[in-house]
């Protein structure tokens, strides 16, 4: 109770001192405000970018492995001359994997034809990606459908002229996605019937969204193009069964692929097994560096603000030396005097921190209105902002407060 009473009285003294010196208080807040604003703004921007990237990565599937020619990540000693000689995944690889892999829920062979143009009557949609997929594509990718359905097994295996279209494609060609079902459009010079429309997912940073895609069966497309051509970036996607760790799927897949490619022990792999965790780990490493850079940049502003507050506190001690002497002569202890000035410094920093965080919060709405980008401001960042403010307040106020608590009452009263 004594401590709470002391804290309350110290708070009242400190608040009254800040209220009586409004201009000095405002000037003292600037450094802390700018510093906290910089730190929290950088943290929020990084978190927003990280979340958007992670959302895109999550669409790849946490238990999906991509058999490809090129690895997604590599070190400084990037042996591109080895990778360029690798063969791309072939239909034979896909067929053998289907026969041998026991841990897979689904295995699909996929290629992509980029930047195609689709037409329906007078409507045209440009820059559409044509996905050519095998029968189990729906088992390796978790897409929702606004209208219609996925290919039947017979349609996939017989190469029926059917297609799935993204939401943006359906809207661009037919103005209304709901009326796209049953319509016929030309793809690769052949007419196909639309049997499904993907639900709208919106843009993402890795371009994984199906909104501007059209999907057709591989056995239909192979009559018009070479589905094993390297320019289409062939890949085999293997999605593990539920309850089986991705490491187990990867281990089996590694052994089966080496067997299919007839690689002897000690021979380097001539294929890459990529998975979303590779990107996630790279993202974490990258943003840890950006976080640190933001902390350092904002830290300089906060430190400068802390020196400014320390200077103001020394001035405040000098101006109130007479009052301090009177308080001590009336029985005030040194720790009470110390608390007054320490709380005053902490209050200054907290006010500056609150203003800085408030500016970031208002900035999230401004960015949303101007650029239609949702900036996230997590509670953890708010707590960090206030915690940094308290620490800077204590560090910048402890020395002036200590000097104030050690003043001689008689000499202090005599000071004009």
| Domain boundaries, given as residue ranges, for the chain | 2-56+281-414, 87-270
Taking only the tens place, the pLDDT of each residue in 209-220 is 788 999 999 999
pLDDT band at 228 (very low <50, low <70, confident <90, very high): very high
Tell me, what's the pLDDT at 20? Answer: 67
User: Over the Cα atoms of the chain, what is R_g?
Assistant: 33
Summarised one tens digit per residue, pLDDT across range 234-247 is: 999 999 888 888 88
Q: At what angle do helices 379-405 and 276-319 cross, to 10 degrees?
A: 30
Q: For 178-189, how does the pLDDT look when each residue is reduced to its tens digit (9 = 90+)?
A: 889 999 999 998
Quick count: other Cβ atoms within 10 Å of Cβ 373?
Answer: 13
- pLDDT tens track for 270-329: 899 998 776 777 777 777 787 787 778 777 777 877 887 887 778 777 877 787 787 777
If you average pLDDT over every residue of the chain, what do you get?
Answer: 84
Is the Cα dihedral 322, 328, 330, 333 positive or negative?
positive
Confidence of residue 58 (pLDDT cuts 50, 70, 90): low
Provide the 8-state DSSP code for 119.
Answer: E
**What one-character DSSP code corresponds to residue 40?**
H
112, 337, 393, 403, 411 from 407: Cα distances, Å: 79, 10, 22, 7, 8
- For residue range 134-149, list pLDDT tens digits in order: 999 988 888 889 999 9
pLDDT average, residue stretch 32-47: 84
Tokens 């640190």 appear where?
292
Calculate what percentage of the chain has a pLDDT beyond 70.
88
DSSP string, 143-211: --EEEE-PPPHHHHHHT-SEEEE-HHHHHHHHSSGGG-TT-EEEETTEEEEEEEEEPP----TT----T
The confidence score (pLDDT) of residue 410 equals 75
Q: Give the mean pLDDT of 388-413.
A: 83
Q: Span 253-265, mean pLDDT?
A: 92
Tally Cβ neighbours within 10 Å of residue 374.
Answer: 11
The pTM assigned to this predicted structure is 0.69
What are the φ and ψ backbone dihedral angles of 24, each rounded to 5 degrees? Answer: -65, -40
Distances in whole angstroms, Cα of residue 216 to Cα of each of 164, 193, 222: 7, 10, 11
pLDDT grade for 62, boundaries at 50, 70 and 90: low
In tens, the pLDDT along 338-372 reads 877 788 788 888 888 888 899 999 988 888 888 76
pLDDT of amino acid 64: 86
């Amino acid at each position: 109770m004594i401590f709470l009473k002391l804290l309350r009285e110290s708070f009242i003294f400190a608040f009254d001192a800040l209220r009586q010196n409004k201009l000095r208080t405002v000037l003292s807040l600037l450094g802390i405000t700018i510093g906290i604003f910089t730190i929290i703004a950088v943290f929020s921007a990084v978190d927003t970018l990280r979340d958007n990237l992670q959302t895109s990565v999550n669409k790849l599937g946490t238990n999906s492995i991509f058999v490809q020619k090129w690895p997604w990540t590599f070190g400084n000693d990037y042996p591109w001359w080895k990778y360029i000689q690798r063969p791309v995944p072939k239909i034979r690889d896909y067929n053998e994997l289907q026969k041998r892999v026991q841990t897979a829920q689904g295995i699909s062979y996929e290629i992509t034809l980029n930047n195609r143009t689709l037409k329906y009557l007078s409507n045209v949609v440009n820059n559409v990606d044509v996905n050519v997929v095998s029968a189990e594509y729906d088992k390796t990718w978790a897409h929702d459908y606004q209208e219609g359905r996925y290919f039947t097994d017979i349609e996939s295996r017989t190469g029926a002229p059917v297609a799935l279209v993204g939401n943006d494609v359906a809207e661009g060609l037919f103005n209304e996605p709901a009326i796209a079902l049953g319509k016929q459009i030309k793809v690769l010079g052949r007419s196909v019937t639309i049997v499904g429309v993907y639900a709208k997912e919106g843009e993402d940073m890795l371009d994984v969204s199906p909104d501007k895609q059209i999907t057709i069966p591989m056995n239909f497309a192979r009559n018009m193009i070479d589905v094993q051509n390297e320019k289409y970036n062939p890949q085999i996607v293997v999605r593990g069964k539920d309850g089986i760790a991705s490491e187990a799927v990867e281990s089996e897949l590694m052994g089966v692929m080496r067997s299919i490619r007839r690689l002897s022990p000690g021979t380097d792999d001539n294929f890459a097994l990529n998975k979303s965790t590779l990107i996630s780990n790279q993202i974490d490493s990258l943003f840890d560096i950006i976080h640190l850079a933001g902390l350092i940049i904002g830290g300089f502003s906060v430190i400068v603000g802390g020196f400014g507050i320390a200077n103001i506190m020394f001035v405040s001690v000098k101006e109130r030396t007479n009052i301090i002497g009177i308080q001590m002569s009336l029985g005030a202890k040194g720790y009470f005097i110390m608390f007054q000035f320490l709380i005053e410094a902490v209050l200054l920093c907290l006010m500056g921190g609150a203003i800085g965080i408030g500016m970031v919060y208002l900035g999230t709405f401004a960015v949303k209105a101007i650029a239609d980008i949702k900036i996230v401001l997590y509670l953890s960042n708010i707590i960090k902002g206030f915690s940094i403010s308290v620490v800077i307040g204590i560090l910048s106020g402890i020395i002036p407060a200590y000097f104030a608590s050690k003043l001689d009452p008689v000499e202090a009263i005599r000071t004009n």
